[in-house]
Structure 1
Amino acid sequence: MKVRTLNELQDKLDNDIQWRKKELTDYKLVLEKNKESTAVIPLIRGGITLSYAHWEGFIKNSSSFYISYISTLNLPLDKVKLNFVALKFKKKLNLSNGIIESMNLIEEIQNIEKLFCKIFDKDIIDTKSNLKFKILNEIIVGLGFEIEHFERNENFIDKKLVEPRNDIAHGTYRDVNYDDYKIVFENVIPLMEYYKTLIENSASLKSYLK
């Protein structure tokens, strides 16, 4: 899944969000047609779950596209912002618990001017299948983005989107209604679009550089 150019990055972001928006919109039309039906509650439960699935899927995919793009630029590691250095060494930092591994890692970090910002770990973006605000914050900070907009939406993310989805997906009874679904639908697509814009602006403005 290498992303070599800005145009490729743009195309992948556009394609990934377009089919998600279409499916969410199509689902809402079906639900609207069945608002007076006895099937409306199962449809609402399904709509909240589907919305979360697209939220998590888009954050994971789009973030991975961005990292892939930066990794193909052959940038010296000492020329990029600290968050990318942390991503580069993330797995080694997590695994390093012996003195020899620690010494080797420190030596690598001390010589980062000889390394390149190549991050090809497919699991580097970890949503933990539970993309609440705390986990989203780790991803956003890891990519060097500003978190303020998502901080303002923390209650929606945790209480209106993730928490209901978890209850529904794990088979826990939760009383939901059309207004609960409507809040999710009206907020999740704009949040995905905002995240997409963050990536596009960072890539075009080269915000990943020191």
Structure 2
Amino acid sequence: MVQALKSDIQRMHENYIERLSTDRLWRARELSDLRVMHSKAETSREKVVTSRAIVVLSYAHWEGYCSSCAGTLVDFLEAKEVPYSTLPPDMLLGALAAALDSYRDTADNLVSRRKLIAIFQETLGNHIKNFDRRVILPRSNLNFERLRFIHETIGADIQPFQRYRLKIDKELVAWRHLVAHGEMFTLENYLAVAHTNLCEELMFLTKDTFETALYTH
């Protein structure tokens, strides 16, 4: 019986980790295809279009993969019915978001505070459910500070991303803003490769982060 339970849990881990891998792979393939298109572009117009596409898609896949991983983690925790008491304390933000919003809109008095404490105590004794995923989603601006917040909330180590801090803020995010503001530019082939490789490296690190979080629980 115990062995069967362990096997079920192991299969659950494997299924959710497979989701992380599958989602990363198709994103990496699309970036690879775009690199090839960029290298084969013959006219200056084509080069500008593929340059802008590389910048937008690199950021989109970086943010999209982080969002997907966050959703996979929450799906796993809810499916396994992990108790809040065993999760990092900041994960309670996802359970108490509605209560905190409600408190903000009520009079700040002892009765309101007692209600908030009661909700907190009740939540702490339950397993994770109806989690407000916005707490650990990028929210359309996945800069380093937002990434740090997500990691701190799920109890993950941000250290592997430290060396990419400037690249995230000054390249992935900033270049995306340039495209949104209508800037026209051409990436040399080596820059196109470096930029997409940066995105792929960050997705690898993100996969490692969320795999560890899955195995922790």
Provide the residue aligned with 1:160 in structure 2: 171
- The alignment's TM-score, normalised by the length of structure 1, stands at 0.85
Count of aligned positions: 201
Cα distance change of structure 1 residues 116 and 131 upon mapping to structure 2, 3 Å threshold: same
Query: Would you say 1:204 and 2:211 are equivalent positions?
Result: no
Q: Is the 8 A contact 1:133 1:157 kept in 2?
A: yes
Q: CA deviation at 1:68?
A: 1.4
Q: How does 1:127-206 map to 2 (within 5 A)?
A: 127-171=138-182, 173=183, 175-178=185-188, 179-206=190-217
**Once superposed, what is the RMSD of the aligned Cα atoms?**
2.1
> Are residues 136 and 176 of structure 1, via their aligned partners in 2, closer, same or farther at CA, if it must alter by over 3 Å?
farther
Match of 1:18 in 2: 25
| Structure-2 separation of matches of 1:25 and 1:77 | 40
Rounded Cα–Cα distance in structure 1 between residues aligned with 2:186 and 2:152: 33
Q: Distance in 1 between matches of 2:194 and 2:102?
A: 41
Match of 1:46 among 53, 59, 67: 53
Letter in 2 for 1:25: S
Max radius of gyration: which structure? 2
Describe how 1:97-112 pairs up with structure 2 within 5 A.
97=104, 98=106, 99=108, 101-112=112-123
The structure richer in helix per residue is 2
Normalising by structure 2, we get a TM-score of 0.83
CA distance in 1, matches of 2:71, 2:63: 12
Provide structure 2 residue ranges, at least 5 long, that are not aligned to the other structure.
Answer: 1-10
Query: How far 1:15 moved relative to its partner?
Result: 1.7
The alignment status of 1:7 with 2:18, answered yes or no, reads: no
Task: Report matched runs for 1:73-84 at 5 Å.
Answer: 73-84=80-91
Structure 1, unaligned runs of 5 or more? none
Q: Is the counterpart of residue 126 in structure 1 residue 137 in structure 2?
A: yes
Cα distance, 1:93 vs. partner? 2.3
97-106 or 154-163, larger mean C-alpha shift: 97-106
- C-alpha deviation, 1:154, in angstroms: 1.0
Aligned to 1:37: 43
Q: Measure the CA separation in 2 of the matches of 1:166 and 1:130.
A: 10
